[in-house]
Amino acid sequence: MATHLKNLSDFSHTTIPSASPYHFAIVTAHWNAEITGALYEGAYQFLIKQGADPDHILSLTVPGSFELSSGADMVLQHKKVDAVICLGCVIKGDTPHFDYICSAVAHGVTNVGIKHSIPAIFGVLTTDNELQAKERAGGRHGNKGEEAAATAILMASLKSQLQ
């Protein structure tokens, strides 16, 4: 089932193909669990809505966003999936920790995807405060987990067309 996304700004003119042919992994960070749980629900339900088989969605939790790339790497070493979605939420604090984690996870997710030649999707909120995060995890700015899932389907489809 193809869906035209009207409400997700990044995909307003994009038709998302059916997810039914593909296997996915969703790696979710436990830190800020209320937010990342909402991102996970958004991503999971979007894959299902697009026709993914629940048995073809592998879900894994890692402690924090910093561990997303190694979690994704473990999945890709041991499981055959067409895309891995990495979900996390890093909220700015009073120390430079935020910058280190954001930079590490962005590079890590990019590198793990390139290493395995499998789309690795960056679904990590990096916000100044909790309100901004909530607004993007099912609030007035939508659910970035859904957008990450849409990206995963698009990339899995793109890859299959090149094979």
So which residues are the catalytic ones? 97
For residue 26 the two structure tokens come to 């969703």
Which residues in 24-63 contact ligand DLZ (CB under 6 A)?
A: 29, 31-32, 63
Q: Is 65 annotated as a binding residue?
A: yes
Amino acid at position 113, single letter: G
Binding residue (CB under 6 A) for ligand DLZ from 17, 44, 47, 67: 67
Q: How far is the CB of 94 from ligand DLZ (least distance, A)?
A: 10
What's the start-to-end Cα distance of the chain, in Å?
22
Q: How far is the CB of 77 from ligand DLZ (least distance, A)?
A: 20
Q: How far apart are CA 5 and CA 77, in angstroms?
A: 32
Q: How far apart are CA 132 and CA 23, in angstroms?
A: 31
x-or-dash pattern for ligand DLZ, window 73-112, by CB under 6 A? ---------------xxxx-x---x---x-----------
**Comparing C-alpha atoms, which of 45, 66, 58, 16 is closest to residue 145?**
45
